[in-house]
A and B are shown apart, each in its own frame.
Chain A
Amino acid sequence: MLLDFNKLGAWKWALSAICAVMSLFLLLPILFIVALSFGSSRWLIFPPPGWTLKWYEELFADPRWIGAALTSAKIGVIVMVISVALGLLASLALVRGTFRGREVLRAFFLTPMVLPVVIVAVALYAAFLRLGLNGTLVGFVIAHVIVALPFAIITITGALETFDPAIEDAAILCGASPWEARLRVTLPGIRHGLFSAAIFSFLISWDEVVLAIFMASPSLQTLPVKVWTTLRQDLTPVIAAASTLLVALTVLLMIAAAVLRKGKSE
């Protein structure tokens, strides 16, 4: 009765109302930023007195914003490649390996996801002070791979677990070497998992704030660090413009992920 939507009676409307209010609560702030980014008021009056593109002009005219976005993209792509490569190898070991303690190893790989990121950030900051890696691209990449890797491993092990190893064995029986079988049979078989892992890894690096604040130097900062330092000074609509572009990118990547899922189910 309670799990049949049409037999709920008045409760059906109560539940639908809660769902609708919660959806608005989640959605409206995002739409609000998008609207503000086109609004003409520097003081973020809503509804805006007029519409303008000047915040976007200001954003694109400032080389620091562009530089930060390029740095973020560069770090994101490198992190994506390393995280998927290491994640694939680690997943092969976890799913296909025959050694003892695979469950312990899996839990170990996931710990960076469980620990508060501020602890990882402070610990890496101390280590990088010694190694001279603070404020370097290498430092950013290492820090972001640490937090992206668990997500890559979860996604790729998930794909590998649903891929029947007998297909790989069949390729080997038909004369392929184990490496040939892995590269030409298993990899294409789990490509959806690999693509999702790549998108996740990129997005995690692209959006990551806490590690980046500790790794950043005045000469090298990512987009979130630039947003963070600007936010601490004032709430300028330029941030609304930057945020809107970030939301647009998120929507595009979500659509890409949805298309991938659809491709998988076909």
Chain B
Amino acid sequence: MFSAAAPRRGSGLGFAMPAILLLAAFFVIPVVFLLTRSVTEPQLGLQNYAALVGSSTYAKVFFNTFFVAGVVTLVTVLIAFPVAWALAIMPARWSAVVFAIILLSMWTNLLARTYAWMVLLQQTGLINRMLKAIGLIDQPLQLTNNLVGVTIGMVYIMLPFMILPLLGVIKKIDPAILQAAALCGATKWQALTRVLVPLATPGIASGALMVFVMSLGYFVTPSLLGGTANMMLAELIAQQVQSLVNWGMGGAAAFLLLLVTLGLYAVQLRFLDRKEAA
């Protein structure tokens, strides 16, 4: 800012040009082109959107997508909140171990993790055999090729993305505020529900939005654990383009996914702005 040499260097925009050109050519133009095909193929008009909204097959895809994303978000919040809370305050020795496990899981190949759940959840898998051994079930449960499997696999993948932002927010809360609550006679439960959770809400909200948005567009886990009968939106886009070569439909479904994603992203930005303003 107060750099003496700055005026001689130009504005620096030139440095960004290679990245800008690459993204323009291979990101912006292809995406815009894909979206325009949704209103030009097979002919000019909104017929693809009418088909998407009108058919019960697609309605089921939308329901699956939003339902799974919603359940995954809810479950990850419920698990991630106590975990992030514990991580923020437990002795550094332990939290380092838990933290390393979270990072290991996050960086382990996505297909490897999904494969593990495919094996664990299959009819003859470890989970079914354990449930049988302790007498909870007689017949193996159907845990793969349905939304149950997808939800378990997705919660597994999304947990780190919820824990890490929550941890950041909880660490910033001043412990004195909770001491004050205790001094004023609040029980632990009151301190939790009326002080800690409200103070952590910006973190919960932004983590939840991020997980929800990521879940809406997820492709790999739903197609491997859900099977073709329980399709979600990302699979629908891939199927329309790759198997059916229906670019108009694929483009329309992609546009709807893009719209929802960007809309929720805008909500997220407003949350962050508000947090900074406060």
Contact = CB atoms under 8 A, between A and B. Distances in A.
Given A90-B15, A122-B237, A165-B3, A210 B219 contact: yes
A175 interface: no
A207 B108 CA distance: 9
Contact-size category for B: 35 or more
A2 B5 CA distance: 51
B109 A250 contact: yes
A21 B48 CA distance: 47
A22 to B, nearest CB: 5
Contact of B16 (A93, A166, A232): A93
A90 to B, nearest CB: 4
B51 interface: no
A9 B182 CA distance: 14
Contacts of B145: none
A30 B90 CA distance: 25
A259 interface: no
A26 B80 CA distance: 12
Given A94-B16, A115-B258, A209-B111, A250 B104 contact: yes
Contact-size category for A: 35 or more
Contact of B112 (A23, A44, A108, A246): A246
20 contacts: A4-B175, A26-B101, A26-B160, A29-B156, A30-B116, A33-B116, A44-B119, A90-B16, A96-B9, A108-B20, A114-B261, A114-B262, A116-B234, A119-B257, A120-B31, A121-B238, A166-B3, A169-B5, A247-B112, A250-B107
Given A23-B101, A207-B110, 4 more contacts: A1-B188, A116-B216, A116-B257, A203-B107
Interface of A: 1-5, 8-9, 11, 14-16, 18-19, 22-23, 25-27, 29-30, 32-33, 36, 43-44, 46, 86-87, 89-90, 92-94, 96-99, 105, 108-109, 111-112, 114-127, 142-143, 145-146, 149, 153, 165-166, 168-169, 172-173, 178, 203, 207, 209-210, 214, 224, 227-228, 231-232, 235, 239-240, 242-243, 246-247, 250-251, 253-254
